[in-house]
Amino acid sequence: MWGGRFTSSPDAIMDEINASIDVDRHLYAQDIAASKAHAAMLAAQGIITAEDAAKIAHGLDTILLEIEKGTFTFDRALEDVHMNVENRLTQLIGPAAGRLHTARSRNDQVATDFKLWIRDAIDRIDKALAAYQRALAEKAVDHAATVMPGFTHLQTAQPVTFGHHLLAYVEMAARDRGRLADARRRLNESPLGSAALAGTSFPLDREKTAHALGFDRPAANSLDAVSDRDFVLETLAAAAITAVHLSRFAEEIVIWTSPLAALVRLSDKFTTGSSIMPQKRNPDAAELVRAKVGRIIGALSALLIVMKGLPLAYQKDMQEDKEGAMDALATLALSIAAMTGMVRDMTPDTARMKKAAGEGYSTATDLADWLVRNLNMPFRDAHRITGNIVAKATEAGTPLHRMPLAAMQAIEPRITDGVFEVLSVDRSVKSRTSLGGTAPKNVRAAAKKWLRKLENEGG
């Protein structure tokens, strides 16, 4: 492929380190689509004949069918997907195949192919995240009034509802989708026609190929177009944040399903057993999602390290952009699917959740708020008095809602029996009616709003 400049073959080790076909063969559909667009443009511009363009298009369609049927043989000696396709095209249509590479380089070719691949991957992940959001919102509707403990520092803080907790992850996934959409929008410029680095002297219509491939516009600078891998980095950054969100939820599922917490149960579909302990039910799906985030963050870190020292324009180092990214995005898609399955599968123990919600004096803030509202007390004073009451209740081993009124009045004489209206966990969550609060009516409305939005997105 290098023509007359070289007089001998590369060393076997050079062949091994230089070949990318094991990875970039996954770009075959994008490579063929970009080649068809390029050939059609060359013909429209009078750079090649319409007859040759028709032969090229027919040959490329044949190759696509062969690859999809599994009858195409990828040859490592041909180094990459581009040369494998071009070599087979030559076998099929003869000399006309040699005209396809007019006014382009593998530099703009691979940048175009990988942008198309990343764009397709973003679309698939966005669809998966929408399904994940839908599963969460549907579960939230069912459990809008199911009381559970809310935690800070993994200590019981205030009662919330299970539906409210699930909707927090719907919001996270919405931001994840927004970041991916931003990355998609920015990457949607076509490098095709930038050639090796300096553009070309042929009268190309880069707008034509850009629009044929679904890009918004051609990339404006040929040097940037062939050396840019921001689109991979930005997508991996969005993927890493998404994976962190999944991992946080997976960690909670691990905690919730522990017999020590016993707040949620997963069925046999998403748990495994032990080879030695017959009683075990391990939340392995959640644990694996939690672990796989490392691969996704690692792919981002690896590519940042590759790119940080590269001068313009294309460098062979950039060949390392694909394997990690492809693995990371496949891993993310699998993790989203697993989390969606676990959300649909999980069954909360509502009685245990409610009991746990009342432990640890979780309605202490409700007591402090009552003192502020009913006794016109500054919150800091109310906080101190409530702390004294909780200390007395702890000493007596009594929950707040069963604390004798006289015992509370010994600390603050103006307290009336009206305080008991706010000390149960049910009343606590119902009172949290502020925007974004955990009141069941809020949760139900928010979950249904999300379901309507997701339904409208689906057309």
What is the residue type of 359? Answer: E
Q: Of 407, 247, 455, 227, which Cα lies nearest the Cα of 319?
A: 227
What is the residue type of 372? Answer: V
Active site residue 153: yes
Please say whether the beta carbons of 63 and 235 come within 8 A: no
Exposed/middle/buried for residue 46 (C-beta within 10 Å: 0-12, 13-18, 19+): exposed
d(CA 74, CA 303): 26
Please say whether the beta carbons of 128 and 343 come within 8 A: no
Q: 8, 9, 153, 434: which one is catalytic?
A: 153
Q: 58, 258, 267, 274: which one is catalytic?
A: 274
d(CA 300, CA 183): 14
Q: Of 60, 85, 90, 61, which Cα lies nearest the Cα of 73?
A: 85
Please say whether the beta carbons of 235 and 325 come within 8 A: yes
End-to-end alpha carbon distance in the chain: 48
Exposed/middle/buried for residue 259 (C-beta within 10 Å: 0-12, 13-18, 19+): exposed
Tokens representing residue 177 in the block = 């989708």
Exposed/middle/buried for residue 360 (C-beta within 10 Å: 0-12, 13-18, 19+): middle
> How many CA atoms are closer than 13 Å to the CA of 403, on its beta-carbon side?
35
Using DSSP's 3-state secondary structure scheme, residue 3 falls into helix
Active site residue 165: no
Please say whether the beta carbons of 296 and 243 come within 8 A: yes
For 128-183, give the secondary structure using H, E and C. Answer: HHHHHHHHHHHHHHHCCCCEEEEEECCEEEEEEEHHHHHHHHHHHHHHHHHHHHHH
Q: How many residues does the chain have?
A: 459
Residue 342 is given by DSSP the state H
Residues assigned a catalytic role: 153, 274
